[in-house]
Chains A and B, each alone.
Chain A
């Protein structure tokens, strides 16, 4: 339908530099999102200026440290704490570090690799005709 969104893969080591550049260009931080992949976490930083939506993306493995960008964008601290609490990604030097108390959940880091069960992509045929609700294309892992 519309054109794909701008998602730029970056290196983790370049993150702070690129973010600082974006800040200087007058972008605002829209969100920081995290996605659990089978073996890693994928972090996405979204920015916007006058409705232009740009995303930076990189992957980190379990236990890898990620630098905080809350020195550049002060509002990043909430997102970073959230990612730390829900995913267990280690983010260093957050301006206001809650140390895992922002979200108190029944299970620790509920979105971490060990907790999330991802479904596998269906094999070959993408479009499976509608069947009974119990029939799930592809198998569920775990």
Chain B
């Protein structure tokens, strides 16, 4: 776990999740697990966000929404796939309307396993995402200097 110079904000979007992972994501932000102690906050505005946490696999309609949200986020940004649905599609991967994991649409940096992903796993994953964000930020700064 690196040293955070920034406190990243998380934007959460439910692609086609069953809610299980969403409530765990929210639970991980509340007093018992308290992701906020790392300075991480949940935001509803994509333009404020650094980390996009997607729960659930993508379908025909939500792929555009996920894509738009991703495009609206400022650079650098990290995508976290929360739960098995977002990773591969879970039991729903054979459904006619499920495209598969989020990586079918966006470049995913961190996969969090579990159905539903446990808050501990989510915290771990989001902290990994912070490290990646830090790296991306450093690279991005270097690129800008050139």
Contacts and interface: CB of A to CB of B under 8 A. Distances in A.
Interface string A101-122: 0001111001000010000000
Interface of A: 104-107, 110, 115
Interface of B: 59-61, 96-97, 99
15 contacts: A104-B60, A104-B61, A105-B60, A105-B96, A105-B97, A106-B59, A106-B60, A106-B96, A106-B97, A106-B99, A107-B96, A107-B97, A110-B96, A110-B97, A115-B96
B132 to A, nearest CB: 32
Given A106-B96, A107-B97, 13 more contacts: A104-B60, A104-B61, A105-B60, A105-B96, A105-B97, A106-B59, A106-B60, A106-B97, A106-B99, A107-B96, A110-B96, A110-B97, A115-B96
B92 to A, nearest CB: 13
Nearest to A105: B97
Give the 5 A-B CB pairs with smallest separation, nearest first. A106-B60, A110-B96, A105-B97, A104-B61, A106-B97
A115 B59 CA distance: 18
Give the most central of A105, A106, A115: most B CB within 10 Å: A106
Contacts of A106: 59-60, 96-97, 99
Contacts of B59: 106
B34 to A, nearest CB: 39
A105 B59 CA distance: 8
A106 B61 CA distance: 9
Nearest to B61: A104
